[in-house]
Amino acid sequence: PGYADGWVNVARARLQEGNLAGAGEMLEKALELSPELPKAHFFMGLVRKGEGRNDEALAHLQRAAARFPRDRVVLNQLGRVQFLKRQHAQAVETLKRVLAIDPEDLAAHYTLMLAYRGLGEAEAAARHEALYRRFKADESAQALTGPYRQLHPDDNNERQAIHEHRASRPAAPPPGAGYGGRP
């Protein structure tokens, strides 16, 4: 109960399930224990964004970004909330920081396209739309690679963002065998 990260982990699971209220409760407990915990502020920012409480979301995300100024996931969320609040110029500045870290970041290009449209800068919006389309995965390729992946499950496993590596284990010695195979 006194471990703030434990509350954050429960909140993450609840957030994944779509239980914003439950996640918020867990994050409040985490922040009571550790008021400056950046990951608690980050996830609280996601909860508040999901609830449409963008001012609060922005405050929490800014606290996380202050601690991790080069975390592109935090910056992308911060830029997205700025865009949602119609703070288009601030969103552009935040998302440029993301592209300084990863020039191919899809979320940054997409939100930049929207923010530039909001600013009435059609040329910049078109540039980021083109970059977004260029770096976006070709979903039609799934149909081409599908038969191969079905025949090669290990290769298919490797292409998954989150996957498991199964370690090969030596066969167990026969019953009654001692060390080195001797009884």
- Most trustworthy range by pLDDT among 22-26, 141-145, 148-152: 22-26
Give residue 165's pLDDT band: very low, low, confident or very high (50, 70, 90): confident
User: What mean pLDDT comes out for the span 129-152?
Assistant: 83
Give the chain's mean pLDDT: 90
Task: Please report, rounded to a whole number, the percentage of residues in the chain having pLDDT higher than 70.
Answer: 89
Give the 3-state secondary structure percentages of the chain, helix then strand then coil, rounded to 5: 70, 0, 30
Residue 167, token pair as written in the block: 């370690």
pTM for this predicted structure: 0.76
**Phi, psi (rounded to 5 degrees) for 180:** 75, 15
Give residue 181's pLDDT band: very low, low, confident or very high (50, 70, 90): very low
Contact 105, 96 (CB under 8 A): no
Q: List pLDDT tens digits, range 32-80.
A: 999 999 999 999 999 999 999 999 999 999 999 999 999 999 999 999 9
Sequence-ordered strand ranges (E) for 34-93: none
Residue 176 has a pLDDT of 61
User: What mean pLDDT comes out for the span 139-167?
Assistant: 78
DSSP structure string for 96-149: HHHHHH-TT-HHHHHHHHHHHHHTT-HHHHHHHHHHHHHHS--TTHHHHHHHHH
Residue 177 has a pLDDT of 53
Contact 36, 64 (CB under 8 A): no
Residue 146 has a pLDDT of 80
Residue 182 has a pLDDT of 47
- In the chain, what is the straight-line distance between the N-terminal and C-terminal CA atoms, in Å? 50
* Distances 172 to 64, 92, 97 between C-alpha atoms, Å: 49, 60, 54
Contact 76, 100 (CB under 8 A): no
Residue 154 has a pLDDT of 86
Lookup result for tokens 């502020």 = 41
